[in-house]
Amino acid sequence: MIDDRPVMDDHLHLDPDAHRGIDAVRDFARVGGTHLLVVNKPSWHLGVEAETGADFRPVFERTIEIVDEAASELEGNAWPVLGVHPGLITRLVDDRGFDPEEARDLMQAGIDVAAEYVDSGEALALKSGRPHYEVDDDVWAASNAVMRRAFERGAELDCAVQLHAEASEDMTEVADWATDAGLPSHRVVKHYASGRLEGPIPSVMADKDRLQTAAERGEPFLMETDYIDDPDRPGAVLGPKTVPRRVRWLLENGFEEAVRMAHVETPKQVYSIDTEATLERD
């Protein structure tokens, strides 16, 4: 551990069936990582071509199993974040002959199933969003409708919703949609964020420039790697040791308050988790 501190990666993937899996968790723990939010991989990466909401279950259940195993390697804890990757809509419409409304219905059904796992306490939060690339207006509208369904479920369950979305530093409109649905904007997290963001809480990619911006800004933020645990894309994202290493770097540079913000205060505010109480200190 790093001075008995909780150190949390807010968004990564683990795929023991294809790549490093629990070894990546051990790497994270060895350099001081203590808490993980593990997001299910996109369903089609696991060979699942969903036709109904229930078809997402194996993806969610595998993620829950992996998280149990991950938690046993950590001095803190790990939690699953479950949902439907927004890129699925392109796959459905372009490759599988769905029209945007059919794709919307299937993806909303997947969100509803993910919400069942939150309701039963097996998952911590939901994952949704919209494509980060240019799409047709009807696909965009369908994607926004899926995201709004996730906000409705999040509001009912009082749980956070992580978003995968376009690069932006102002998503107040989206945060307003959440608020309209009854989900406070502090329960909405934009994953893969830069160091500043209006609207949702930024889950900041753990590179030094972005972190310095977030730390100096002084607003709530989280830290993540988006590690994808994919042997075919080794350099696509940051490795599992990155968040603990960047915590050390922040502390060496006097950003003590920011480290507490990202690993204690913001996790409490967003997810209602207590990263300090869940830490086994010897």
| Of 15 and 226, CB closest to Zn ion | 226
Least CB distance to Zn ion at residue 218 (A):
26
How far apart CA 186 and CA 199 sit, in angstroms, is: 8
CB 53 to Zn ion: min, Å = 21
Q: In this complex, which beta carbon is closest to Zn ion, that of residue 75 or of residue 226?
A: 226
Query: Rounded to the nearest whole angstrom, what is the least distance from the CB of residue 226 to Zn ion in the complex?
Result: 4
Sequential DSSP letters for 6-46: --EEEEE---TTTS-THHHHHHHHHTT--EEEEEPPPGGGG
Nearer to Zn ion, 1 or 114 (CB): 114
As measured in angstroms, the least distance from the Cβ of 11 to Zn ion is 6
Closer of 66 and 279 to Zn ion (Cβ): 66
Which CB atom, from 198 or from 230, has the smaller least distance to Zn ion? 230
DSSP 3-state of 122: coil
Which residues, 167 to 226, sit near Zn ion by CB under 5 A? 226
DSSP string, 192-208: EE-S--BSSEEEEES-H
If you ran DSSP here, which 8-state letter would residue 272 be given?
A: -
Tell me the closest approach of the beta carbon of residue 235 to Zn ion, in angstroms: 15
Question: Residue 42 to residues 129, 140, 253, 266: CA-CA distances in angstroms?
Answer: 13, 19, 37, 26
When the beta carbons of 172 and 194 are compared against Zn ion, the nearer one is: 194
By the rule CB under 5 A, 229 interacts with Zn ion: no
Residue 102 and residue 161: Cα distance in Å, rounded? 23
Quick one: tokens of 59? 């993806």
Beta carbon nearer to Zn ion, 38 or 273? 38
The whole-angstrom separation of Cα 233 and Cα 250 is 28
Give the residue with the Cβ less far from Zn ion, 9 or 226: 226
Report the nearest approach of Zn ion to the CB of residue 5 (Å): 24
Angstrom distance (rounded) from CA 215 to CA 229: 28
b/e burial code for range 134-166 (CB count within 10 A of at least 16 → b): ebeeebeebbbbbbbbbbbbbbebebbbbbbbe
Count residues near Zn ion (CB under 5 A). 1
Name the minimum Å distance from CB 41 to Zn ion.
8
Residue number of the CB atom closest to Zn ion: 226
CB of 1 to Zn ion, least distance (A): 25
Which amino acid appears at position 272 of this protein? S
CA angle 53, 50, 129 (to 5 degrees): 70
Q: What are the residues binding Zn ion (CB under 5 A)? A: 226
